[in-house]
Chain A
Amino acid sequence: MTEKQTSSPENNHFLARVYRSIQRDRLPPSDDRGRMKIVMNSLVLHIHPAKVSSASLKFTYTFGLGGLLLLLGSILAVTGIMLIFVYTPSPDAAYESMLALRTEIPFGNLVRNLHHWSGNLMVVVAVLHLLRVFYTAGFTRPREFNWAMGITLLLLITAANFTGYLLPWDQLAYWAVTVGTSLLDYVPLIGKPVIGLLLGGPEVGAATLTNFYGLHIALIPLAIFALVSFHIWRVRKDKITVPRQVNQEANTEKVTTVPHLVSIEFVFALLWLAILIAWSTFINAPLEEAANPTHSPNPAKAAWYFMGFQELLLHFHPVFGAIIIPGLSLLALLLLPYLDQDMNTAGIWFRSISGRWMALVSFIIGAAGTYLFVILDEYWLDLPGWLPFLPSYISNGWIPLAGIALLLIGYYELIKSLGNTNCESRQALFTLLFSSFFTLTLIGIFLRGEGMALIIPWS
């Protein structure tokens, strides 16, 4: 078809021929067929199918979260590449680069702020994207593996954030990374060699900065790019789930991607770009004093997205807080879609009316229960003290873990006995655990003061 067009007599003008060789389809397209061809023939647009379900365009279904992640990734790539040109990854020069960005380089502060806030927002949006997909059953067959890729991407995004965290080489960076990598110390067998490989020496130093720089600007972005391509390709193959009300069939009407989806995406991206630039103009990325390996600040907190784990560590034996509990949670997360037998609820928020109530109740119980446990553990519960004859991995590990597991099993059975399906009960359990982790993160960020003692933030 295209061959014929370019060689047809009315297109023989030289410039027109060059233009046709680049943009093969006539713009603007005159009919739906032309609109679909644009998507098929464009390298960028072909991440979309040619037609999409009109119902799935509803903003309050996807909230544009996946698209927002792509936008944030693009902003991070552009600002990141700009930062490479002014940043020197050595302990003597890194902090100087930060000061230069603040004071000398035109737009330096804006570029750094954009990079910092987009990176942090990416963690939040990735978690929200996961929740959206989970609560609309978007991970059920045939999308199980895409869910696993999404989880891997979330881990890679966290790794990208964590490696970037060290680069300013200020006190915040140095000690957050020291505490963060020391968590690995508790992994049996492979922990120590992995720390050695990551740090490139006995402590966070020049070799660590080189390693993290390489990971942050090359290895992790490449891995994310490759996996995101796979992730989006699968979305295009499987299509996104179509939203519907309880007891309703999905609307099968389809519209062309151009302009219906693309125009929404464009406006959405512009709005978010405006929000991010405004935010980065007025709110600076934190920068503390230059790193000092002989003086830890008080309190020394990990990066905010690790505060839930740091809070876990205050209550459990390190092997449990750092390895067993996060490991089991990750495994459960990956297995979730394979356990799901109910394929008829995809597209319905929380699967059913009862599912909505159970999720709400579970969220409240999870949050309240976690506050209660943290306060009890701080002021009263002292298993290692009460059971001094047991090693601490039993008194502060297996015993509390078994107690919590029993409570969770009891909760699951209770929800099921109220007449909920397996899926609804699992959803309630997931909500309880997520709410609990969310609460631990909040407590770690806001309610922990000097010496990691509980504080009231407004006093």
Chain B
Amino acid sequence: MSRLNLSRRDFINLGWGAMGALVLTEFSLAGLRFLSPRAVEGEFGGEFNLGSHDQYPSGSVTPVEAGRFYLVRLQDSGLLAVYQRCTHLGCAVPFDHKSGQFVCPCHGSVFTMEGDELNPPAPRPLDLFQVSINGTGEIIIDTSSPVQRDKPGPDFIVYV
């Protein structure tokens, strides 16, 4: 290893420069943390109790506007909570009762009742929220983090 050739002046200048860089980094990180998103209670993002499961007949799609999702009850009585946000560019996808499909008004993406994409430009099926059934048979939907899926499948369907 060669001997480091650093004059006292260079060393002090380097030290000051490093301290300046450190201060800048600290302020940037603190600023980013300061501005980071914070959850607001009682809004979309929390848990929703939809009551007893037997009020939702098979083959029905029930919009829950405050939760931004549809409660889908399939023909085999399986349950899905489909996030209304189109996976293409974020439009709210309405359910078309005539065709039994989700049709996005913005760019024409089409999804099945289970949220699988039939028609581009959507790159993947509609996102889902976690569905669970509590002890008294009530449906609980957790809207805190949408579940993304690349391929449709039965793994996400919840049965009572």
Contact = CB atoms under 8 A, between A and B. Distances in A.
A299 B106 contact: yes
Interface string A182-211: 110100000000001101111101110001
A295 B92 contact: yes
A421 interface: no
Contacts of A313: 89, 107, 121
How many interface residues does chain B have, given as a range?
Answer: 20 to 34
B53 interface: no
Given A203-B44, A297-B105, A452-B106, A182 B90 contact: yes
A95 interface: no
A451 B104 CA distance: 8
Contact of A205 (B32, B36, B43, B105): B43
Contacts, number: 87
B91 A294 contact: no
A179 B106 contact: yes
A301 to B, nearest CB: 8
A219 to B, nearest CB: 11
Interface of B: 32, 35-40, 43-45, 63, 65, 68, 84-85, 88-94, 104-108, 120-121, 123, 146
B10 to A, nearest CB: 30
A196 B37 contact: yes
A227 to B, nearest CB: 20
Contact of B89 (A182, A196, A207, A294): A182
B40 A201 contact: yes
Residue of A181, A197, A202, A206 most packed against chain B (CB within 10 A): A202
A175 B39 CA distance: 22
22 contacts: A179-B106, A182-B89, A197-B32, A197-B35, A199-B37, A200-B37, A203-B44, A205-B43, A207-B37, A207-B40, A294-B65, A294-B68, A295-B92, A296-B105, A297-B105, A300-B105, A313-B89, A314-B121, A317-B123, A384-B120, A392-B120, A452-B107
B91 A175 contact: yes
A197 B40 contact: no
B14 to A, nearest CB: 29
Contacts of A293: 68, 92
Contacts of B85: 203
A318 B121 contact: yes
Contacts of B89: 178-179, 182-183, 185, 313
B105 A178 contact: no
How many interface residues does chain A have, given as a range?
Answer: 35 or more
Contact of B91 (A178, A206, A317, A453): A178
Sorted nearest first, the 5 A-B pairs with minimum C-beta distance are A298-B105, A182-B90, A300-B106, A296-B91, A182-B89
Nearest to A197: B35
Nearest to A393: B123
B39 A201 contact: yes
Given A202-B45, A206-B40, A384-B120, A451 B68 contact: no
A296 B36 contact: no
Contact of A294 (B38, B63, B108, B146): B63
B90 A197 contact: no
Residue of B32, B37, B40 most packed against chain A (CB within 10 A): B37
